[in-house]
Chains A and B, each alone.
Chain A
Amino acid sequence: MEYVRAFFVGGLLCAIVQLVIDRGKWTPAGVAGSLVVLGVLLGFGGVYDRLAVWAGAGATMPLSGFGYWLAKGVMAEPRPEGFVETGAAVFRFAGALFSFIVAGSFAAALTCKPKG
């Protein structure tokens, strides 16, 4: 059942975003940025917590899930205080993903030549 929920929530989100892109008013990079910011806002509001419990990967896999990880780092207990702790807390969860992607991409650039 949780696979069906993940499939539907993730798929629906992608379909809506596809319609927004096809309308042609926003660039894909702008849409991606907006989606992440939307995830941050919903993550702070606590809405995304419930969505992530209900839909699982259907909520965490879209780019809004990356925003959720950023927000979750700040919102998870113990809450950070001040510039230093908040700045570090943003990467508490999202940093795992971001470091992995950046290091993996560098490794890919080390070993592979551009194709096509």
Chain B
Amino acid sequence: MGLKSDYVREVKAFQPSPPYAANAVKAFLVGGTLCALAQWLADWYGGTFAAPPLEAHLWASMMMAGLAIVLTAVGKYDDFSQFAGAGATMLITGLANAIASAAIEHRSEGWTAGVAGQMLKAGGAAVIYGLIAAYVLGLVWP
């Protein structure tokens, strides 16, 4: 019922179906490769500095995020996530890309209202829902 749902149903027949299998395979390969790379970084850090696994994985995630920020800054991450879809956007690197690209994009509006204010425009949903869930659960968890 309603104009909007009628419209959605009517145009459905004319919309091309996304290539589910091809997209999923690309996401699988790229996402898996990035995770294996992060695993290698974590192993290297854990072995070199005798760090516990938790710290090593945190460091590896930070390094991957740093790499994503650099790739975003030179404008290469977009091509990459066009190809990989969820394999690039649903990792920590995707969060770093979302925050960095919003920061760079709003540079022309000034440092306070533009960069600092708009930085979490795209990545904010993930951070804020997670933060609320963890805080509320942490308060009530036995």
Interface residues of A (CB under 8 A from B): 2-4, 6-19, 21-22, 24, 28-37, 39-41, 43-44, 52-53, 56-58, 60-63, 65-67, 69-75, 80, 83, 86-87, 89-90, 93-94, 96-98, 100-102, 104-106, 108-109, 111-116
Contacts and interface: CB of A to CB of B under 8 A. Distances in A.
Contact of B58 (A30, A53, A96, A112): A96
Interface of B: 18, 20, 23-43, 53-54, 57-58, 60-62, 64-66, 69-70, 72-75, 78, 85-87, 89-96, 99-100, 102-108, 115-116, 119, 122-123, 125-131, 133-135, 137-139, 141
A104 B12 CA distance: 42
By secondary structure, the A interface counts as: helix
Contacts of A7: 32-33, 35-36
B38 A109 contact: no
B28 A106 contact: no
Contact of A19 (B20, B66, B138): B20
Given A63-B91, A97-B62, A116-B78, 17 more contacts: A10-B34, A14-B31, A15-B86, A19-B23, A22-B20, A24-B18, A32-B89, A32-B125, A36-B133, A61-B92, A67-B133, A73-B134, A97-B58, A98-B127, A104-B66, A105-B119, A112-B73
